[in-house]
Amino acid sequence: MGLTITEKILLKHTKLKKIHPGEFIDARVDLCLGNDITAPLAIEEFEKSGAKKVFDRKKIALVPDHFAPAKDMASANQCKRLADFSRKYDIKHYFEVGQMGVEHALLPEIGLALPGDLIIGADSHTCTYGALGAFSTGVGSTDLAAAMVTGEVWLKVPESIKFIFRGKLNKWVGGKDLILHTIGDIGVDGARYMAMEFCGETIEKLPMEDRLTMCNMAIEAGAKNGIIAPDKITSQYIRSIKNKAKPGIGRVYSSDKNAKYRDVKEYDCRRIGPLVACPSLPSNVKPVKALRDVSIDQVVIGSCTNGRISDLRIAAKILKGKKIRSSVRLIVIPATQKIYLDAMREGLAKIFIDAGGVFSTPTCGPCLGGHMGILAQGERAVSTTNRNFVGRMGDPTSEVYLSNPAVAAASAIKGRIAHPEEVI
Amino acid sequence: MYKGKAFKFGDDINTDEIIPARYLNTTDKADLAKHCMEDADKGFAKKVRRGDIIAAGKNFGCGSSREHAPVSIKAAGVSCVIAENFARIFFRNCINIGLAIVESPEASKSVKTGDTLAVDIASGLVKNITRKETYRIEKYPHFMQRIIKAGGLMASIRKSSSKNKKKE
């Protein structure tokens, strides 16, 4: 029996000769990650363990991004614990404000996540790096602590579901819509404990940033990881990284033809239009056109899901020369410093500000109801982020609608959920 | 054996509901306990008594990886969480920190808020004392039992590293 790409990468990181789904393994990690919310708990556990050193100072990434730049004194203390720990143990990949960005946008951008890597992160959206052909999964703080001591993580080898996407993408449709369509189809637990493997002619042509968006939201279907086999687009992306944070171009794996899948799903992309996930689950997906009477108070464009330069370009294309509705707050947050600079250089920042929006320094901020755009009682937002749970962006009575950047920008102009065609 | 009153929740209870991000600027267990389950049941932290049990539907603990979620449940005094099944990061966090969790579709279906339950992991049964019913529990794989027996992941790696040292 052949192996899936997920099984091959896991096998390579164990001392075993073969593995099978359902088996428990101790696997070596190439990188482990924490942020200003999850790393403080991990640091406490690390210190309690009595460990004198970390397993490898070059294989740990600490990114204060959730409540950073620090939103209050308590958050400042949490960020400081990352800085202090990094200094004490000489952690190579610590990113202070000024270098930091939203972790899952930052790490691929600087080449810290490469094909064939096994990456764990104390953040559920760590599954993002599967877009590069890595096995990458979210874990808890104690897992991070244990990995910082031993360099290993315990995992259950997941079964895989293959998702085949065929047909040309419709206008204003991107990776966000493909993953929302998928989650809408299988549900928020449809891939619970499993690997989601995305493939097919549509994926083969899909730009890397859209692939990152798709794998980013694999967790919203309950998956352990999302993954796309590396190809030309992957190698072009990696080659284009300047001043890579670690050497090499990774190891390319792909699934065997006779690999075993729990299920195979096929989607015809010609039938997928721009989609919106309505409150309060990412699986509550409807076409934009069915939601035109939903008025909104805020639009957020950013996050590890859709805060990359291609996302900002799409939003700017819609907003160029236009004004947003006066009753709406538009908050645009480039996910990293590089994206911020590129957006300035390309004139995108000016387009957002001229339209009546704000353009902020990188942070996860509003996505998780942290800061920089919290919703008041009963308010409604369209957001390019990844979760629309009760109270996710602020008051428990507020509501979040998830969309791609084009729909978010169009909605800011209209003051209600709108299709890009309505404003362009 | 865990014995206490049940608090019943539905499907897909996510970690944002269990401990909203607005309280994540601390790792203090007592502070986190004060806001346990706040966006799913606002008064929960005040109502819950030491030893009580959460019973929920499918995919309990989905969403964010925040370990603060099981930490807040444990610190609020909850002795055990029963669900039809759990989201994977929440599940591993509970195993790693030593919060008792059991999967029991039967219990998930039948238990109501206020029922008095007795969970006996060793015998693989949940007893509903109020309704005089018994439900089966899914057994943990041996690999996880090892971590649970050691008292959590960090204790388990300490144990295995001291074993290795002895071998040397």
Could you report the per-residue pLDDT of A169-227, keeping only the tens digit for each? 999 999 999 999 999 999 999 999 999 999 999 999 999 999 999 999 999 999 999 99
Q: Which residues of A touch B25 (CB under 8 A)?
A: 67, 71-72, 74-75, 78
Tell whether B71 and B133 lie within a shared domain.
yes
User: Distance between CA B71 and CA A354 in Å, rounded?
Assistant: 45
- Strands A358-359, B2-8: pairing is unpaired
SS3 content of chain A, % helix, strand, coil (to 5): 35, 20, 45
- The answer to whether the Cβ–Cβ distance between A67 and B24 falls below 8 Å is yes
Q: Among A246, A266, A286, give the residue marking a domain's end.
A: A266
The predicted-structure confidence for A84-95, as pLDDT tens digits, reads as follows 999 999 999 999
User: Distance between CA A291 and CA A297 in Å, rounded?
Assistant: 15
Give the CATH number, domain containing residue B106: 3.20.19.10
**Which pLDDT score is estimated for B18?**
98
Q: Which residues of B touch A34 (CB under 8 A)?
A: none
Domain range for A23: 5-266
The predicted-structure confidence for A387-398, as pLDDT tens digits, reads as follows 999 999 999 999
To the nearest whole Å, the CA of B130 is away from the closest chain A CA by 31
Tell whether A294 and A148 lie within a shared domain.
no
The predicted-structure confidence for A4-22, as pLDDT tens digits, reads as follows 999 999 999 999 999 999 9
Tell whether B90 and B118 lie within a shared domain.
yes
Of A274, A328, A275, nearest to A299 by C-alpha is A328
Tell whether B145 and B62 lie within a shared domain.
no
Domain range for B145: 141-168
pLDDT grade for B159, boundaries at 50, 70 and 90 = confident
Region of residue A408 (left: phi > 0; alpha: psi -120 to 50; beta: else): alpha
ipTM over cut 0.90: yes
Across residues B35-53, what is the average pLDDT?
97
- The answer to whether the Cβ–Cβ distance between A40 and B27 falls below 8 Å is yes
User: Distance between CA A286 and CA A288 in Å, rounded?
Assistant: 6
**Which pLDDT score is estimated for A302?**
98
To the nearest whole Å, the CA of B9 is away from the closest chain A CA by 15
**Which pLDDT score is estimated for B167?**
60
Tell whether A262 and A304 lie within a shared domain.
no
User: Which residue of chain A comes nearest to B161, CA vs CA?
Assistant: A150
**Side-chain-facing half-sphere of B44: CA atoms under 13 Å:** 28
Q: Which residues of B touch A396 (CB under 8 A)?
A: 20, 39
Which of A38, A67, A72 is closest, CB to CB, to B65?
Answer: A38
- Which of A119, A392, A400 to probe by mutation at the B interface, max B CB count within 10 Å? A392
Compute the count of residue pairs across chains A and B with CB atoms less than 8 Å apart.
134
Q: Which residues of B touch A139 (CB under 8 A)?
A: 65, 89, 92
User: Distance between CA B92 and CA B125 in Å, rounded?
Assistant: 21
Tally the domains of chain B: 2
Edge-to-edge strand ranges of the sheet holding A135-138: A93-94, A60-63, A31-35, A118-121, A135-138
Tell whether A254 and A289 lie within a shared domain.
no
* A390 has a chain B CB within 8 A of its CB: yes
The predicted-structure confidence for A117-159, as pLDDT tens digits, reads as follows 999 999 999 999 999 999 999 999 999 999 999 999 999 999 9
**Do the beta carbons of residue A225 and residue A257 sit within 8 Å?**
no
User: Distance between CA A94 and CA A154 in Å, rounded?
Assistant: 25
User: Distance between CA A16 and CA B70 in Å, rounded?
Assistant: 32
Which of B12, B24, B39 is closest, CB to CB, to A188?
Answer: B12
User: Distance between CA A232 and CA B98 in Å, rounded?
Assistant: 45
The predicted-structure confidence for A241-270, as pLDDT tens digits, reads as follows 999 999 999 999 999 999 999 999 999 999
Tell whether A82 and A99 lie within a shared domain.
yes
**Do the beta carbons of residue A250 and residue A117 sit within 8 Å?**
yes
- The answer to whether the Cβ–Cβ distance between A139 and B27 falls below 8 Å is no
Cα R_g (chain A), whole angstroms: 20
Which residue, chain included where needed, has tokens 């549509």? A202
pLDDT grade for B160, boundaries at 50, 70 and 90 = confident
3 state SS of B105? helix
Number of other CB atoms surrounding residue A269 within 10 Å? 20
Tell whether A198 and A175 lie within a shared domain.
yes
**Which residues contact residue B165 at a Cβ distance below 8 angstroms, ignoring those fewer than 6 apart?**
none
Token code pair at residue A151: 């360099």
User: Distance between CA B10 and CA B6 in Å, rounded?
Assistant: 13
The strand pairing partners of A180, in sequence order, are none
Of B86, B56, B140, nearest to A189 by C-alpha is B86
Which residue, chain included where needed, has tokens 């729990």? A262
Give the CATH number, domain containing residue A141: 3.30.499.10
Burial of A50 (0-12, 13-18, 19+ CB in 10 A): exposed
- The answer to whether the Cβ–Cβ distance between B88 and A41 falls below 8 Å is no
- For residue A211, the one-letter residue type is R
Tell whether A370 and A235 lie within a shared domain.
no
pLDDT grade for A31, boundaries at 50, 70 and 90 = very high
**Do the beta carbons of residue B69 and residue A122 sit within 8 Å?**
no
To the nearest whole Å, the CA of B154 is away from the closest chain A CA by 6
Of A3, A91, A74, nearest to A40 by C-alpha is A74
A266 phi/psi in degrees, rounded to 5? -125, 135
Q: Which residues of B touch A138 (CB under 8 A)?
A: 65, 89
User: Distance between CA A351 and CA B31 in Å, rounded?
Assistant: 43
The predicted-structure confidence for B107-131, as pLDDT tens digits, reads as follows 999 999 999 999 999 899 999 999 9
Q: Which residues of A touch B147 (CB under 8 A)?
A: 154
- Strands A24-28, A152-156: pairing is antiparallel
- The answer to whether the Cβ–Cβ distance between B87 and A370 falls below 8 Å is no
User: Distance between CA A169 and CA A273 in Å, rounded?
Assistant: 8
pLDDT grade for B168, boundaries at 50, 70 and 90 = low
